[in-house]
Amino acid sequence: MRPFAYVKAADVESAVQAAAEPGTKFLGGGTNLVDLMREGVEQPDTLVDVTGLPYDTVEELPGGGLRVGAMVRNSTLAADRRVRARYPVLSQALLSGASGQLRNMATVGGNLLQRTRCPYFYDIASACNKREPGSGCDALEGFNRGCAILGVSDHCIAAHPSDMCVALAALDAEVEVRGVSGTRRVPLAGLHRLPGDTPQVETALEAGDLITAVELPPVPVAARSRYRKVRDRASYAFALVSVAAALGVDDGTISEVRLALGGVAPKPWRAREAERLLTGGPADDAAFRRAAEAEFASATVRQGNAFKTTLAVSTIVATLRELNEGAAR
């Protein structure tokens, strides 16, 4: 990888100051960034190691929510008893991602900023507008089996790879960001951007912005929630499609539903249209299917990833059915 300077952040102020300089990146667990640097995709001048900053705990919020420090490791968060009880979807999402070793390294902050696994993004000999704006997109007519079908543009069809983020999207999480001009909060739904004609701009973060925490609001319905990940092998693979869902059913009628999707969009995709159609309606397969199909009405598919619509619809139906049957028991 290209030589770079390494700075261990002593405190958040100096970290943010240092990272405001061009060519500087924060280093968390390194599980994605170090890989991308070795491939020449990322070439920072300076890495600011933030893993020593005191954001490594999960704390109670008034009202039953949780505040998760950005340096908390994925495995720690997945194992947290409160997370498992209140937000099983989040624990399951984390545990379905990567491997035991990687989860022990990866931080929550780093996971939020994971970059796409599109093979043309990874190969610097290929054309990729995300990596090299204006160079084109080899995925459009190439191998795009893993690529997105919702929210894509003619410039980029790369899918967001995180599992954790899909669960966070369903939970209406908020991200706390420390920047040069102070602290602000960004809803998870607003953290990641769709590619449009600037696929290189992936988030709403500015230079120097450091994610310090993720806040989970109380979501009672999430006590019965589920993360379902569909992939090419039984473990240790990125999602073709994933579904984060929570379902509240009252006497056969859906009182509340949370639905977010992974593997199908350039960002963790909250399926608001499907949620709207489901809420107040019957909890049965036909309704689940109608809502899921509506969510994908605007899908833009290509030869390699056309199957994702069918797969996503049936995975949504199956996940909601499972939650519904669980509720009935």
Partner 1 sequence: MSVKYAETEPATGKSTYVGQGVDRRDGPAKTTGQARFAAEFPYPDLAYAALVHATIARGRITALDTTAARAVRGVIDVLTHENAPAMKPAPKMSVLDLSSIASGTSVNYLATDEVHWNGQPIAVVVAETPETARYAASLVRPSYQELPASVDFAAEEPNAVPEKGIPIMESGADKGDAHAALAAAPVSVDLRFSTPPYNHNAIEPHATTAVWDGDHLTLHEGAQNIPWLRKHLAQRFGVPETSVRILSPYVGGAFGGKSRAWAGTLLAALAARATGRAVRLALTRAGVYHTVGGRTPSAQRVALGADAAGRLTALIHTSVSRTARIGGMPEPITAASHHLYAAPNIHLAQNVVQLDLLPNTFMRAPGESIGTFAVESAMDELAWQLGMDPIELRMRNEPERGPVGGQRFTHRMLKEAYALGAERFGWSERDPRPGVMRDGRWLVGMGVATAFHPSMRMPAQVTVRLEADGTLVVRSGMHEMGMGTATVQAQIAADEMGVPLESVHVEYGDSDLPPGPGAIGSVQTASAAAGVIDACAKLKKSALALARRAPGSPLRGRKLEELQARDGGLHHARGSQTYAEILTAAGRDHLEAESKAGMLGFVARTVLERRRKVRAATGAQFCEVRVDPDTMEVRVSRWLGVFDVGTVINAKTAASQLRGGIVMGIGMALSEQTLIDGRDGRIVNPSLSEYHLPVHADVPHIDVHYLNEPDPTTPLGLLGIGEVGITGVAAAVANAVRHATGRRVLDLPITLDKLL
Partner 2 sequence: MPEIRMKVNGSVASLEVEPWVSLLDALRERLGVTGPKKGCDQGACGACTVLADGVRINSCLALAVQYDGREITTIEGVSHPLQEAFIRHDGFQCGYCTPGQICSAIGMLAEHTAGMPSAVADSGPLTEAEVRERMSGNLCRCGAYNGIVDAIMEVSG
Q: What are phi and psi of 160, to 5 degrees?
A: -75, 135
Residue 47 touches partner 2, criterion: CB under 8 A: yes
Residues 44-83 that bind partner 1 (CB under 8 A): none
Work out what residue 314 binds among partner 2, partner 1, none; the CB cut-off runs from 5 to 8 Å by kind: partner 1
Work out what residue 142 binds among partner 2, partner 1, none; the CB cut-off runs from 5 to 8 Å by kind: partner 1
Work out what residue 318 binds among partner 1, partner 2, none; the CB cut-off runs from 5 to 8 Å by kind: partner 1
Q: How far apart are CA 96 and CA 114, in angstroms?
A: 15
Separation of CA 34 from chain center:
19
Q: How far is the CB of 276 from partner 1 (least distance, A)?
A: 23
Kindly report the length of the chain.
Answer: 329
Q: How far is the CB of 187 from partner 2 (least distance, A)?
A: 28
Give strand ranges (E) for 153-306. Answer: 174-179, 182-187, 210-216, 225-230, 241-250, 253-262, 269-270
One character per residue 222-261, x = contact with partner 2 (rule: CB under 8 A): ------------xxx-------------------------
Our CB check for partner 1 shows the closer of 143 and 204 to be 143
Structure-block tokens of residue 260? 């977010």
Strand 182-187's sheet: what is its strand order? Answer: 58-60, 66-69, 210-216, 174-179, 182-187
Our CB check for partner 1 shows the closer of 21 and 232 to be 232
Query: Which helix (H) or strand (E) element contains residue 48?
Result: strand 46-49
The residue from 12, 102, 127, 180 that contacts partner 2 (CB under 8 A) is: 102
Residue 196 touches partner 1, criterion: CB under 8 A: no
Strand 24-27's sheet: what is its strand order? Answer: 5-8, 46-49, 24-27
Considering just the CA atoms, what is the radius of gyration of the chain in Å? Answer: 19
Contact range with partner 2 by CB under 8 A, out of 86-94, 170-178, 270-278, 308-316: 86-94
Burial environment of residue 86 by CB neighbours within 10 A (0 to 12, 13 to 18, 19 or more) = buried
The residue from 20, 79, 140, 201 that contacts partner 2 (CB under 8 A) is: 79
The residue from 204, 237, 287, 294 that contacts partner 1 (CB under 8 A) is: 237
Residue 184 touches partner 1, criterion: CB under 8 A: no
Helix then strand then coil, % of the chain, to nearest 5: 30, 20, 45
Residue 43 touches partner 2, criterion: CB under 8 A: no
Q: How far apart are CA 203 and CA 194, in angstroms?
A: 9
The one-character DSSP state at 192 is B
Residue 311 touches partner 1, criterion: CB under 8 A: yes
Q: How far apart are CA 88 and CA 81, in angstroms?
A: 10
Q: How far is the CB of 155 from partner 2 (least distance, A)?
A: 27
Which residues form the interface with partner 2 (CB under 8 A)?
Answer: 1-6, 8, 27, 29-31, 34-35, 37-39, 47, 49, 51, 75, 78-79, 84, 88, 91-92, 95-96, 98-102, 104-105, 234-236
Which residues form the interface with partner 1 (CB under 8 A)?
Answer: 1-3, 38, 40, 117, 119-120, 122-123, 125-126, 138, 141-143, 145, 230-238, 240-241, 307, 310-311, 314-315, 317-318
